[in-house]
Structure 1
Amino acid sequence: MSDSAFDGGAAQRRAPGLRARLLAAIALAVLVGFLTAWAVASAIGPPIFHAHLLESGTADPVVNQHAEAAFRTASGLSLALALVAAAVSSIIVSASIARRIERRLAGVRRAAEQVAVGDYAARAPLLGMGSEFDELAGAFNTMAADLAGIEAARTRMLSELAHEMRTPAAVLEAYLEAIRDGVVHADEPTIEMLRAQVARLTRLSHDIALVTTAEEGRLAMRRARLPARRLLEGAAAQVVGRAADADVRFSVDVAPSAEGALLDADVDRLGQVLTNLLDNALRHTPAGGHVRLGADRVGDRLRITVCDDGEGIPREHLPRIFDRFYRVDTARDRAHGGSGVGLSIVRSITEAHGGSVSARSDGLGRGAVFAVELPVVTDRHGAGGAGGTGS
């Protein structure tokens, strides 16, 4: 009883369809028009007819009364028949229009149902019933295309993430199995190797969390007045040793126009941006190469460049170089130990500071240039005061 009562209640509460609503609205409009026309005709017609009878000179009251009764009957009947015919015609036309709208909207409904179950290739047909309906279909199709792109990116990200985790996890499993079977001893080199694999997994999870937080606009930052020179010197100090170990020449070139530039920035976040770019340059620059960190002032923006004369980037890969997990050469980059999200972190943090980042390369073997542009703030108290505000 309860199930049937529930179903009956749900059916009663179900809102009427578009056709029923449209027909009801048309019927209400026709009824209002019918009553209005009847009231106006009843109020205006008889007095006018009576005035015309008096002007005609007819003095017989019986004749006048009969004529006025005939007029009321004829006009009332004619008006009623006309209004009924108009109502029937309106309902027929409205039903036809409602059926056409309902049939056209069925395509949009089917497309929405397909998208709801994950078929993002579904598209709503243009309704051809005015710009408003076509704009609705266009907006729906744009939404479906965006969802398709998001789903493709999500699938690719999960696939790449699984691949990234598979290698260190497999190494850990193999070595732990070997240690348990007594094939490998848990000596210091083995422990260090296992620790390196765990560190790789930890770094990957940290990088994914960071880039996701930044792209969602939830990246916490502690901003302060920061001299550009201090930022560059901090980044250089972290890579100069690694550059020497790799036999790569490293230099810093700050233009006079950028010497006193100030940034409103999180020093740790921007330091990570430059560290990631410099690490990327060192990974792809062979021994004997040169990596240069530079800065100059371009209007109200500070442009920081990281240049190398290493492996370079093919032109077709440049538009996607900052995508998560995107690699120009998958085997090569995994061999170098990158997590695949370093450049995504660079873009996310840079954009969170109101800046932009770009990459340029003349092709393989011709090096690459990464440029970060950041807004410069005006120091009203002189360079010394700005230096004192840094954290």
Structure 2
Amino acid sequence: MCFQQKSVRRSNKTKLPLDLGAGLRNQSINFSLNVFGDRTLTLKWHLVLLVAGTLLPVVFFAVAVVYKLSLNERAASERRLVLAARNLTQDVEREVSSTTRTLQALAASDRLDNNELKAFYNEAKRTVQTQPTWFNVILLTPDGRQLVNTSYPFGASLPLVNEPESLRYVVKTHQPTVGYLVLGGVKRKLAFPIRVPVIRDGKLRYVLNAVITPQALASVIKTQTPVDGEWTRTVVDGRGIVVARTRSPRRFVGKPSTPSFLKRITATTEGVYRDTTLEGAPVYLAFKRASFFDWTTAVVVPIEMIENPTRRAMWLVIGSGLVLLVVSGVGAFMLSHRISQGIAEAADAAEALAQGEYPCISPSSIQEVALLGKALEMSADLLAQRQRERDEHLTQVEAARTLAETANRLKDEFLITVSHELRTPLNAICGWAQLLITGRLNPEKTQQAIAIIERNAKIQAQLVNDLLDTSRIIIGKLRLEPQPLNLATVIVCAIDSVRHAAEVKNIDLQLQLAQVDLVLGDPNRLQQVVWNLLSNAVKFTPQGGRIEVQLQQANSQVEIIVRDTGVGIKTEFLPHVFERFRQADGSTTREFGGLGLGLAIARHLVEMHGGTVQADSEGQGKGATFTIQLPVMVSKENISTAPIKPVEPKNLHRLEGVRVLVVDDETDARDIISAVLIQQGAEVRTCGSAAEALKEVLAWKPTVILSDIGMPQEDGYNFMQKVRQWEREVGVHIPAVAVTAFTREEDRLKAIAAGYQTHIPKPIEPTHLATVVASLIADIKV
């Protein structure tokens, strides 16, 4: 109030009555003598106490804040541990589910339907050879007798089941399960069984088992990248025995967990707490129960990693406070002289009051109180900023969780779609094949059955190709073979592929081709893009609709426009139309099939060519327009625009007198290849293994060799290397073709490096196969 009324008091200096001033002066003198006496302190100590009284609450407040933040950080660390345990459980469950699906596929073998145990034994051995973490495959009766064990020769005397508890569970529930870790097998090594029921006619006939090494799960838990090298991940079975562990696995795998951990996992399915490891180290431990047979995963982190940051922060705050207190005390001593001036001025004002004058105190130059307020305001701003950052972090976490949930939902929908789309053509193929086997169909129905089987086989092959292309795109293995290209040729070939489907639906297919410059592109991949857009247009255009295909040039860009009068695209789905695994209708009641991969593959292929693809639609029921833009070539000199005509079946070379050796462990594969070549006049011999084929090469000396790659005992690579070594010794050369289901680019290069002239992926195209063989014969004659 003094500062607010300063100007008034200076202009109106009115003296108080003298008796009043004398009374005030006497009262102040008596007060000082009576209250303080000899116990008065100097100004310096008063300032030190003032500084201490001001700073100590701030230090205590900072300690409290740091302690609260440390509690929050510890809680956040515990949540991260629980999340890591959940992720580890999901990875382990996925690994087990993958093995279960493989085992269920083996359990569906028709060898078991016909009780052909020896044939099933061979089939099981081939499956074991493809699974590096499987010890063996065992076929049990529900009472525990072993009928087939791939670790023993077929027909040998087999022991009883090693771990009966999980077997009883399968017999009781008819559900797959995972057993306990036990010593078993011929080599007496640690392993655990995965068991699936083999049900025929609604009854449990057998129990099929895969004995798995702990390394299967060890590789899974090692794939999770820890935040720090001190994190330990562990998997234990239903008895609490350690199955896999990232730290000291040789020492602890097969050993029981700590009693406290067993007590915890028995009481609840998930949690985090402080415990002691098998090594005796204090840790924080988070665990999560798996969905199969009471298995549990655990993530362990040393206590120091959680609590040391808190201790360091606490000591930092306390130490900083003590240093600040000392520095402030020294400063108080140094500034006491300046402060005493203000006190002297206050004393003068008091003296003036004693003399009856209105005192006036000038504003002090000491701003400790103001600085303290600013410091508190800065602290409040800092805390508010941290709170905002924490809120933003929580918002980001929530957004990430929502995104993860969406991705998980899309994954589930995609898996359901894949299963449906693969089974649908397979149902038609199997059904009509069985009807053909009966021999009761009339000629018209027989031709219809063959056409349906061929059409559905092509559909399934296209689905597999889409999945393979998507896999190559994800891992960056998709490669182009660019060449100068006239897009009119690509469009015409793509239209010829879908023309029949359009005619079936009475769709008016219109084509407008302008003269455009050449582009540099892969003809097969660009034809795949255009075919994909056209097949989508045919699929989504109703009976009697119209599809327009237009080729034009806009400056330095060549445009391909595909426009239809179909069902159109919803406005909210339009931004997601080129995303993988996204479909406008992913429900089980959807009208149109497909995996939702074609447009994503098309966009990636166009972008690999340096172009763009865009989708437009005015809404549902108003059709859709897809526009592809590709850059023209910079230089066009000496480039021919004449399209390359495909080889027609009638122009194929006949193969009379050509001796062809077909090597494949699959009887059906040998039969179809033989039929194609015999139809062209070739003399064909077949072999089911590399060893048998090598003998046939030495004795028969074929003109051409067609060999599979993946075969038991010895693969096609080793077989061809032996053939080439024999050729060098005798001075001959037999051209060879790798006919295989290994279709990646690196598989093709590996086949050529092994000595094959070329590589044909399965499923084979009869025309293409005959053409390749004829070209090899032509090269020999030249």
TM-score of Structure 1 vs Structure 2, range by shorter chain: 0.5 to 0.7
Map of 2:550 onto structure 1: 294
1:158 CA drift (Å): 1.1
CA shift in 2, pair 1:27/1:288, >3 Å: closer
Asked whether the equivalents of residues 551 and 561 of structure 2 are also in contact (C-alpha less than 8 Å), the reply is: yes
Map of 1:221 onto structure 2: 480
**1:24-63 paired onto structure 2 within 5 Å:** 24-33=315-324
Among candidates 397, 416, 428, match of residue 140 of structure 1: 397
CA shift in 2, pair 1:142/1:205, >3 Å: same
Asked whether the equivalents of residues 436 and 449 of structure 2 are also in contact (C-alpha less than 8 Å), the reply is: no
**1:2-13 paired onto structure 2 within 5 Å:** 6=278, 8-11=280-283
CA shift in 2, pair 1:35/1:288, >3 Å: closer
Map of 2:663 onto structure 1: none
CA shift in 2, pair 1:177/1:31, >3 Å: farther
Among candidates 300, 304, 308, match of residue 14 of structure 1: 304
Q: Which secondary structure state, in structure 1, belongs to the residue aligned with residue 561 of structure 2? A: strand
Map of 1:263 onto structure 2: 519
1:316 & 1:130 partners in 2: Cα distance? 38
1:214 CA drift (Å): 2.8
2:321 & 2:440 partners in 1: Cα distance? 92
1:348 CA drift (Å): 3.2
1:305 CA drift (Å): 0.3
1:212 CA drift (Å): 4.3
Structure with the higher fraction of residues in helix conformation:
1
1:217 & 1:201 partners in 2: Cα distance? 24
**Overall identity of the aligned pairs, in %:** 22
CA shift in 2, pair 1:212/1:316, >3 Å: farther
CA shift in 2, pair 1:163/1:325, >3 Å: farther
User: Which AA in structure 2 matches 1:27?
Assistant: I
Among candidates 568, 583, 594, match of residue 313 of structure 1: 568
Among candidates 620, 631, 636, match of residue 382 of structure 1: 636
Map of 2:413 onto structure 1: 156
Asked whether the equivalents of residues 410 and 582 of structure 2 are also in contact (C-alpha less than 8 Å), the reply is: no
Asked whether the equivalents of residues 550 and 561 of structure 2 are also in contact (C-alpha less than 8 Å), the reply is: yes
Asked whether the equivalents of residues 318 and 359 of structure 1 are also in contact (C-alpha less than 8 Å), the reply is: no
Asked whether the equivalents of residues 307 and 367 of structure 1 are also in contact (C-alpha less than 8 Å), the reply is: yes
**1:1-391 paired onto structure 2 within 5 Å:** 6=278, 8-11=280-283, 14-15=304-305, 16=307, 19-33=310-324, 129-171=386-428, 174=431, 190=449, 193-214=452-473, 217-239=476-498, 248-255=507-514, 259-260=516-517, 262-285=518-541, 289-308=545-564, 310-313=565-568, 315-316=570-571, 319=574, 320-322=576-578, 324=581, 326=583, 332-334=591-593, 340-362=596-618, 367-374=623-630, 376-379=631-634, 381-385=635-639
2:507 & 2:602 partners in 1: Cα distance? 23
Asked whether the equivalents of residues 487 and 519 of structure 2 are also in contact (C-alpha less than 8 Å), the reply is: yes
1:154 CA drift (Å): 0.7
Task: After superposing the two structures, state which structure 1 stretch, 297-306 or 148-157, moved more.
Answer: 297-306
CA shift in 2, pair 1:345/1:14, >3 Å: same
2:397 & 2:640 partners in 1: Cα distance? 51
Q: Which secondary structure state, in structure 1, belongs to the residue aligned with residue 390 of structure 2? A: helix
1:287 & 1:383 partners in 2: Cα distance? 46
1:143 CA drift (Å): 2.1
1:179 CA drift (Å): 7.4
CA shift in 2, pair 1:382/1:177, >3 Å: closer
User: Which AA in structure 1 matches 2:636?
Assistant: G
1:242 & 1:312 partners in 2: Cα distance? 17
1:23 CA drift (Å): 0.8
Asked whether the equivalents of residues 571 and 618 of structure 2 are also in contact (C-alpha less than 8 Å), the reply is: no
Asked whether the equivalents of residues 484 and 639 of structure 2 are also in contact (C-alpha less than 8 Å), the reply is: no
User: Which AA in structure 1 matches 2:547?
Assistant: V
1:331 & 1:249 partners in 2: Cα distance? 25
Q: C-alpha offsets along residues 40-85 of structure 1, whole Å, 9 cap, x if unaligned?
A: 78xx97xx99xxxxxxxxxxxxxxxxxxxxxxxxxxxxxxxxxxxx
CA shift in 2, pair 1:179/1:265, >3 Å: closer
User: Which AA in structure 2 matches 1:201?
Assistant: Q
1:273 CA drift (Å): 0.7
Q: How many residues align?
A: 301
CA shift in 2, pair 1:21/1:300, >3 Å: farther
1:304 CA drift (Å): 1.2
Q: CA RMSD in A?
A: 4.5
Q: C-alpha offsets along residues 195-216 of structure 1, whole Å, 9 cap, x if unaligned?
A: 5444433322221232343356
CA shift in 2, pair 1:289/1:168, >3 Å: closer
Q: Which secondary structure state, in structure 2, belongs to the residue aligned with residue 292 of structure 1? A: strand
Q: C-alpha offsets along residues 11-35 of structure 1, whole Å, 9 cap, x if unaligned?
A: 4753216543321211232355567
1:239 CA drift (Å): 4.4
TM-score by length of 1: 0.59
1:134 CA drift (Å): 3.8
1:386 CA drift (Å): 7.9
Asked whether the equivalents of residues 172 and 197 of structure 1 are also in contact (C-alpha less than 8 Å), the reply is: yes
1:270 CA drift (Å): 1.5
1:174 CA drift (Å): 5.0
User: Which AA in structure 1 matches 2:626?
Assistant: F
User: Which AA in structure 2 matches 1:226?
Assistant: L
Asked whether the equivalents of residues 417 and 595 of structure 2 are also in contact (C-alpha less than 8 Å), the reply is: no
1:371 & 1:32 partners in 2: Cα distance? 71
Asked whether the equivalents of residues 429 and 452 of structure 2 are also in contact (C-alpha less than 8 Å), the reply is: no
1:238 CA drift (Å): 4.0
Map of 1:76 onto structure 2: none
Map of 1:84 onto structure 2: none
2:615 & 2:566 partners in 1: Cα distance? 14
User: Which AA in structure 1 matches 2:410?
Assistant: A
Asked whether the equivalents of residues 327 and 340 of structure 1 are also in contact (C-alpha less than 8 Å), the reply is: no
Task: After superposing the two structures, state which structure 1 stretch, 310-319 or 269-278, moved more.
Answer: 310-319
1:8 & 1:339 partners in 2: Cα distance? 52
- Identify unmatched segments of 5+ residues in structure 1: 50-92, 102-126
Task: After superposing the two structures, state which structure 1 stretch, 144-153 or 236-245, moved more.
Answer: 236-245
1:373 CA drift (Å): 2.5
Radius of gyration: which is bigger? 2
TM-score by length of 2: 0.32
